[in-house]
Structure 1
Amino acid sequence: MSRRTVKLWRTAGAVALVGITAIATGGVLLSAPTSAAYTDSATAVEDTYTAPATYLAVSSQFTATSAALSGGYVWIWGYKGYGMSGNGQENVSDESPKPVFGLSDVTKVVGASDLSETYGTFGALTESGEVYTWGSNKLGRLGIGSTTGSRDYRATPQKVEFPDNERVIDLGSMRATMAALTESGKVYTWGSGQYGQAGNGSTTESRGPHSPYLVMENAHSMHVGQRLTWVVTRDNEVYWWGRSYQGENGAATVVNNPTPELVTQMAPFAVGCEGPAIAVDDPADTCGIQTITSSRQAGALITAAGEVYTFGNRAEGQIGRPASNTAEAREIKQVELPAAVHQISAGNYHFTALDETGTVWGWGDNASWQASGNIRPNGQTGQGQTDATAPIRLPLRDIIAVGGSRDTSYATRADSVLIGWGSTSEGAISGSTERRATFTPLVLPGIRVTEVY
C-alpha cells in the first residue's frame, strides 16, 4: 500500500467521524472575554448524548491533560484547571473524558503549555476555518487581544479574530505560543515572545503579541515544533524562527531567532511546493516536505516518499540514529525504517512514528515508557527506563493515527480503540492507575475492548 493511499484513507476516516456521534442537543453559551479569575456564567448542557464510537489521537504539549477528536468534538481528560475543560468552570476535579459541549465541527486541536506549568491553553480549528481557544490566557495565549496576568483564563471557547476574516487552514502550538496558517498563505502567531518563537522580533517573554501577528506571507505549509516554527514557501524555500537549543532547527545552529531565517540545509527536500497554502497531512500536498516537527531538543522531517530525517540532540536517543559527535547529530540525516512513514508525533524528548503498514515505531527518552512502552528492540518486554536510541517496533497493529502529550503516547486503532502508554500523571491515560503504563486501552465512553495486540 502506498503512502498516498494510506493518507487518503486516514483523512476519510476522520471525516466519517462526524456522522458517528450525536452530542447533546443543548450547548454552552460562549461568554464574552472577561478578567482574570472570573466566574463563568456558562453551563455545560449534558441532557442526552450518545457516546462516540471513535476517537482520533492528537498531539499536544501538556503534562497531565490529554485530548482526542471524535465526531467534530474535542474530548478532554486528565488535569482540567484554569478553564481547560472548556465547559464553563475554572477547575474541574473530574479527570474522566468529557467533550467540550459548546464547540462542534472541529478538525484539529492543539495544546500550548510551558515547561514549568501543568495548566495550559487549547486551540481548535473548525471546518469553516475559524479558530477557538480556551484555558490559560497567560502572556496572551488565547489570542483575544489582551491578558491580565498569570491567573487570567477563559473557561469557554473564545473566537480568535483574524484580519479581513481570513480563513484558517492549519493550527499549531509552540509551548506558550500558537501559530496559524490562512488560506491565502499568511502565517500568524500570538502568545509568549520568549526565545523568538512569536517571530515578531522579540526574545522577551512578555513582548509576544496578544492577537494574531502577521509573520510571513507566501507560505505553502506551516510546521510547528516545541519552541519553533518552519514555513515552506511557494518558492521552494524553508524559513524558521524561535529557539534552537541543540540544533533542532535543521540549520545546525544554537540560537534564539526572533525573525524568519532561511534554512539552506532543507533546500534539497523543498521541491514541488509551488501550490497554494495547504495543511500538514493533507493528501493533496505535492511538496517534497510533508512534515517538520520537534521534540524539546531534536527535529524530524518526513519527505513525500515517507523517509524520516532527524537532527539535533543525540541525548536520550532523540534523533533515533547513531551519531559520533554533536556536529553529526545536528546534520539532517535519515533514520532507517523498513516502510514509508506518513505521520509522526513529538513528545518532550521522544518521537512516535506511524508507517504505511499501520505499524508504530518509537525512539528517544523512555523514563516513563513513553517511547517504547517497556518493549525491548527484540520485541520482548523489559526495556525498563532505558532510552530507545534507535526506533523500536511496538506490538501494535492496524493503527491509523498517533499522538500524545509531553510524556504520554497514543495510537488510534482502525477498530476505534485508543491505546496509551507512558506517563499516567493526573489521569493522562484514562483508566490506568500505575505511574507508567504500557499499551493500555483507554477507558473512554462508547469504547469496549478486551485486547490490545
Structure 2
Amino acid sequence: MSKTNIKFLKKHCRTFLYSTLILSTSLAFAKDLTVERLSLFVSDGSSVYESRPLNANLNTLPPAITVNFQANTDANNNTTWQWNLKNTSKLNYNNLRITGLIDVDIDAPSNTFFNEYGSLLSLSAPSGYIAPDKWEISEPGYLKGDLITRASHGSLRNISAYGDTSTTDDPAMALSIDIGNLRAGQEIIAVATLAENSTIGLTQQDNLTNPKAFFNFYAKKGFFDRAYPDMVQGGLLTTGSAIKEGNVWVWGFRGSSQQGNGTMVVSSNKTPAKVNSLTNIIGLTGGAYHLIALDNEGNVYGWGQSGYGETGCKPTQSIYVSMPCNVLKNIVQIGAGEYFSIALDVNGQVWTWGHNLYGQLGNGGNKNSQIPIAVNLKGEKARLIGGAYEGAFAVTEEGHVWAWGDNEASGLGFQGSNYGVQRIIRTPTRVPKLDQYADRMTYIAGGNGWGEALLDDGTVIGWGLHASLGQGTTKTNISSPEPVIVMKNVAQLYARYVGSIALTEDGKIYTWGQTGGSAFPMIYGAFPTLRTPHANDPVVSVGGGKEHVFYQTESGAMYGVGYNDLYKIDQTKCCAPIINWPGKGITIGK
C-alpha cells in the first residue's frame, strides 16, 4: 500500500484506532511543568522494545509493528499523547505488556530539583479502555538500575515512601498494562495524559509549592480496518471468494456473473479465478449471489446477480453484471444483506441499494433501487455499519444504534413478531436497549431474526432469536429484544444467516446458531462450541455463508467446512458429502 493510500485510510476510517507508548525530549507542558521524559516500553516477557518518536527518532520495535504518534490538547487544556501500534504481519505477538513512564520537573519559583514526591491516586480508565494494573514511583527519572526491565516485565511496585515530604528524590512515574496477545491484524491504542487537576493515575508534587502533575495511561485493543492482507469472505450461498494480496479470487458457483471477468456463466468445476479488473482490494463481502468490494482508495465495486439492483450498478436491461462497476467513492466500510448492500462514506453518511420489500434501504418506501440511496439518521454521523438478513444497523458517533428492515423475532433490537413473521421498520429507528453499548461496538451484524455486536473488550452481545445466539435452545419460539451475553475473549466475529463464527484472542474457533439445516449441526450449536481446525497453524481469519465455514491460517492456507454444493469446498467434487472439521483445503492461484 502506498503512502498516499495509507494516509487516506488513516484520515477517513471511522473505526477505533489502537496504540502504544513512546519516548520524547524535554517538553514544556505548562508554565510550571516540564516533561523531562516520556517513554513507552513493550515487552513479551523476554524481549523489551522501545520507540522514541521525538528523541533521536529511535525505534526498536519489530519491523511488522508500525507506530503512529500524535500529541493533542483536550477540552480541559490538558496534554494527551496517543500512540497507534499495528501488527501488520501474519504473525502473533503473545504475552505483551506495555509500560508508560514519565518524568516531570516542576519548575516553580524557588523550586529546587530534589524536593518532589509522588503518590498513587487510582488505577482506572475511561469506559472501553484497559486500565493499568501495575504502577511505580521510581528513583530519579533517569532509568537507573533495572527499572526498564522491572517496568517492562510488569513487576511494578512502590519502591519508596513518597508520602514523606522530606524525601529528596525527584520521581519518575510508570503505569503498566497487561495487553495479552496482539494477533495478526490487531492494533492497540495507548493514551497518556498529563493534567494539573485529576483524580486518577499518579500524582507528582513539589513539597515547597502548589503545582502538581497528574499522569494517567490506558489502552484499547481491537482489529484495525480490513485487518488481513489475505482474508476469507463471507455471505454468498454457493460461491466462495477471498482477498489474496489485494486481488479478489472467486470459486464455486459462478452462473450469475460472480466471476466478474465479462462472462455470465463460468462452470462451477473450473479452478478459482482472479477478478482481473480489481486491484488493491481491502474489503470484500456479498449477498446471496452478488459481491461488493472496497479498494484502498475508497472505491466500491459491485458485480454478479442484480435483479433487485443489489450490485449498485446503473440501470441495465440484464439482471446480471459481469464486470465490476464503480458504485461509490470515498467509502470506508461496506456490508451486505441477502439481496441488498450498504456502505459508509468518509463523512459518516450511510448509503444503501438493492432490494427494499422489507425496508432494507431505510428510505420509508418499498421500491428497489439500482443506485445508492442516502440514509437519514436525523443528522447523526455513522462510524460503524452492518448488514443483517433483510435489515441493517448503523452505530453513530453520537453514541446511538439505529436499525431498519425486518424486525421479526426482535432481530433489530425492538419488540418484534414471532420468528418467520415479518415486522417491517422502513425508516432508521434508534434502538434504546443498545445505546449503552454503542460507544464500545467494533462490529455489528445479524441474520434472520437476530443481531450481534462485538465490544471492544472482546464480549459478544446478541438480541432476537435465542436459537441463533447460543443461548442453549434449538427452538425458534424464544426471542427477545433484550441484549444477552453470548461469549467473551473474542477477537473477530462473523455473524450471518442463522449463526456465528468467533475467533478468540488465543486463536480458537467457536461457533453457535441454529442446527436444523443441511450442515447446521456440524457448523453451529445450541451453545458456543469449540471447533478443531488444523493443528500447528494458527487461525487468523474466519468467514462463511449459510451452510459453510471458511477459515484461513497464519501460513496462508484456507479450509472449508460444511455443505459442499457446487465445488465451493471440495474442488474435485460437485456435491460431495458434508465436510467435517478440520475441513478441506481450498487452493487459490498466485
Q: TM-score range by the shorter chain?
A: 0.7 to 0.9
Task: Name the SS of the counterpart of 2:506 in structure 1.
Answer: coil
Asked if 1:267 is matched to 2:430, the reply is: no
1:436 correspondence with 2:578: yes
Answer yes or no: is the 8 Å Cα contact 1:359–1:393 preserved in 2.
yes
Look up the SS of the partner of 1:270 in the other structure. Answer: helix
Q: Would you say 1:214 and 2:374 are equivalent positions?
A: yes
Q: How far off its partner does 1:352 sit?
A: 0.9
Counterpart of 1:413 (choices 548, 553, 556) is 553
SS in 2 for 1:69: strand
In 1: Cα distance, 2:392 partner to 2:261 partner: 30
CA distance, structure 2, for counterparts of residue 187 and residue 15 of structure 1: 22
> Alpha-carbon deviation of 1:200?
1.3
The answer as to whether partners of 1:363 and 1:371 remain within 8 angstroms in 2 is no
Matches within 5 A, 1:368-407: 368-370=518-520, 372-373=522-523, 388-396=525-533, 398-407=538-547
> Measured at CA, do residues 236 and 312 of structure 1 come closer, stay the same or move farther in structure 2, by a change above 3 Å?
same
How far residue 446 of structure 1 moved from its aligned partner, in angstroms, is: 5.6
1:422 corresponds in structure 2 to 562
Alpha carbons 1:189, 1:215 under 8 Å: kept: yes
Contact 1:219 1:231 in 2 (8 A): yes
- The question of whether the paired residues in 1 share the 8 Å contact of 2:519 and 2:563 is answered with yes
**Letter aligned with residue 87 of structure 1:** N
Distance 1:56 1:91, change over 3 A: same
CA contact (8 A) 2:340 2:353 kept: yes
- The equivalent residue for 1:65 is 239
Contact 2:181 2:506 in 1 (8 A): no
Shift of 1:299: 1.5
Kindly name which structure, 1 or 2, has the bigger radius of gyration based on alpha carbons: 2
Q: Compared with structure 1, are the counterparts of its residues 250 and 14 closer, same or farther at alpha carbon in structure 2 (3 Å cutoff)? A: closer
User: Compared with structure 1, are the counterparts of its residues 12 and 327 closer, same or farther at alpha carbon in structure 2 (3 Å cutoff)?
Assistant: closer
> Which residue number in structure 1 is paired with residue 279 of structure 2?
104
* Corresponding residue of 2:485: 334
* Corresponding position of 2:445: 293
The aligned counterpart of 1:159 is 326
Q: Is the 8 A contact 2:336 2:386 kept in 1?
A: no
Candidates 440, 446, 461, aligned match of 1:309: 461
Percent of pairs identical after alignment? 23
Mapped to 2, the partners of 1:11 and 1:389 lie a distance apart of 27
Task: State the 1:3 CA deviation.
Answer: 7.7
* CA displacement at 1:368 relative to structure 2: 3.5
Q: 1:436 to 1:175 in 2, by over 3 A?
A: same
CA deviation vs aligned residue, 1:381-413 (integer Å, no higher than 9, x gap):
xxxxxx610011001261111101221111111
Q: For residues 227 and 400 of structure 2, what CA distance do their matches in structure 1 show? A: 31
Structure 2 distance, partners of 1:430, 1:14, is 27
Q: Distance in 1 between matches of 2:225 and 2:285?
A: 19
Higher normalized strand content (fraction of residues): 2
Which residue number corresponds to residue 471 of structure 2? Answer: 321
Where does 1:54-133 land on structure 2 (aligned, <5 Å)?
55-60=230-235, 62-95=236-269, 96-113=271-288, 120-133=289-302
User: What is the TM-score when the length of structure 1 is the normalising length?
Assistant: 0.74
CA RMSD of aligned residues (A): 2.5
Closer/same/farther in 2, CA of residues 13 and 121 from structure 1, 3 Å limit: closer
What is the correspondence of 1:177-216 to structure 2 with a 5 Å cutoff?
177-202=340-365, 204=366, 207-216=367-376
Change (3 A) 1:15 1:327: closer
| In 2, Cα distance between equivalents of 1:327 and 1:435 | 32
Which residue is 2:5 aligned to?
none
Q: CA deviation at 1:186?
A: 0.4
Q: 2: distance between equivalents of 1:413 and 1:443?
A: 12
| Distance in 1, Cα, partners of 2:395 & 2:586 | 39
- CA 1:330 to 1:238, structure 2 compared with 1: closer, same or farther past 3 Å? closer
**Structure 1 residue 238, shift from structure 2 partner:** 0.9
Secondary structure (helix, strand or coil) at the match of 2:308 reads: helix
Task: Give per-residue Cα distances to partners, 1:149-170, cap 9 Å, x unaligned.
Answer: xx5212111111x4xxx50001
Contact (CA 8 Å) 2:465, 2:476: kept in 1 or not?
A: no
Do the aligned partners of 1:136 and 1:153 also contact (CA within 8 Å) in 2? yes
Where do residues 32-51 of structure 1 align in structure 2 (5 Å cutoff)? none
Q: Could you say which residue in structure 2 is the equivalent of 1:175?
A: 338
Cα–Cα, structure 1 residues 291 and 435, in superposed 2: closer, same or farther, change >3 Å? same
C-alpha displacement of 1:229: 1.2
Q: Which has the higher contact order (CA 8 A, sep 6+)?
A: 1
Q: Distance in 1 between matches of 2:343 and 2:547?
A: 25
Tell me by how many angstroms 1:268 deviates: 1.1
Structure 2 residue runs of 5 or longer lacking an equivalent are: 1-94, 96-178, 188-221, 418-422
| Aligned mates of 1:221, 1:157 — CA distance in 2 | 25
Question: How has the CA–CA distance of structure 1 residues 13 and 441 changed in structure 2, closer, same or farther, with 3 Å as cutoff?
Answer: farther
Cα shift at 1:445: 3.7
Q: Shift in Å at residue 101 of structure 1?
A: 1.2
Give the aligned length: 361
Q: Secondary structure in 1 aligned to 2:370?
A: coil
Q: Is the 8 A contact 1:146 1:210 kept in 2?
A: yes
Out of 397, 416, 424, which is 1:256 matched to? 424
